[in-house]
Structure 1
Amino acid sequence: MSAQESSRHFNEVQLVVFQLGKEYYGVDIHQVQEIIRFQSPTKVPGAPSFVEGVINLRGRVIPIIDLRKRFRLSEKEVTKDTRVIVVEVAPHTVGMVVDAVDEVLRISEDKIEPPSPLIASIQEEYIQGVGKLEDKLVIILDLQKVLSKEEKAKLEEIEENKEN
């Protein structure tokens, strides 16, 4: 194996893989702070429709985003598998409600393709790439683009109001 092939082999991305419906999504593990069981958030008047509310996570007010609503997918009841992935969406910490967390996965960068313009289930700008595994495809999300500047500003407003 040449040095170039060897270095390419070690360029891996580590993802937290979760489900929304039958689809698999992944986020960079370095952006994930923790994964918790779903807890009913406190509703916040005037919040965007995909913001379920806020929770108190060890003294910190965390906005909770329903990714199904954010990606305009059909709603689903909370189950025993429903989880909240607490992530960093600079400069905010937010919780993302997902149907289930599947696994932590290492995937070689050569198995990740840029997003196809044919992906219609969510807006293409949220997608960093698509990971090809033997038994499934994993849509890799760009968390920094899941929320617009205006939505991030609204989250900041929600956090400040709840802390006061």
Structure 2
Amino acid sequence: MKWITFCVEDEDYCHQVSSVKEVLRYEEPVPVPGAPDFVAGIINVRGEVMVVLDTRIIMGLPPFQMTDASRIICLELPEGNFGLLVDSVSEMIDFEDSQLDQGAQPTITGSSMMIKGTYKDEKGLKIAIDVDTFVANYIEERQAALA
């Protein structure tokens, strides 16, 4: 199973490639008035409007600071297409879900439910993220704001 690895606040994360449409260089999202703070805005990807979520805010980290390495990981999920704003994208790796260590999981403020487990290779520890939970958090907060 292929995973894409990316960095947020000097930590390595990974997500299964199956829902990744593409990886884009950072472009400034257009702000959405009234959106939750973790919505960086929207971008237009070949005629399709995509909501961009700031992974730093979702994880309870300081706000995003753009660099030349910053990327938007475009995801195709049952809930729709979303972009995840990350500090950088590293590489593709292969491992199976069964190789995830689900024991001693790191605790990141407000996001422990988003962690599927950890995977360690010769380059270090990667935290496997449950992107569906990222998106579910967005949808839940958005619906609450509209109520």
State the structure with more CA Rg.
1
- Identity fraction in percent: 27
Match of 2:82 among 89, 94, 97: 94
Map of 1:121 onto structure 2: 108
Is the Cα–Cα contact under 8 Å of residues 17 and 102 in structure 1 kept in the other structure?
A: yes
Partner Cα separation in structure 2 for residue 109 and residue 58 of structure 1: 33
Partner Cα separation in structure 2 for residue 66 and residue 50 of structure 1: 5
Partner Cα separation in structure 2 for residue 100 and residue 131 of structure 1: 19
How far did 1:144 drift?
Answer: 1.0
How far did 1:109 drift?
Answer: 4.1
Is the Cα–Cα contact under 8 Å of residues 56 and 63 in structure 2 kept in the other structure?
A: yes
Gaps of 5+ in 2: none
Partner Cα separation in structure 2 for residue 36 and residue 102 of structure 1: 13
Structure 1 segments of 4+ aligned residues over 2 angstroms from their partners:
108-111
| Amino acid across the alignment from 2:99 | K
| Amino acid across the alignment from 1:44 | V
Match of 1:145 among 126, 133, 137: 133
Partner Cα separation in structure 2 for residue 115 and residue 73 of structure 1: 23
| Amino acid across the alignment from 1:51 | V
Map of 1:9 onto structure 2: none
Partner Cα separation in structure 2 for residue 89 and residue 46 of structure 1: 23
Post-superposition Cα deviations, 1:17-36, rounded to whole Å, max 9, x if no partner, equal 00002110001000100000
Map of 1:28 onto structure 2: 16
Match of 1:70 among 45, 52, 58: 58
Identify the structure with the greater helix proportion: 1
Q: Aligned residues, how many?
A: 143
Is the Cα–Cα contact under 8 Å of residues 111 and 133 in structure 1 kept in the other structure?
A: no
TM-score by length of 2: 0.88
What is the root-mean-square deviation in Å for CA atoms of aligned residues? 2.1
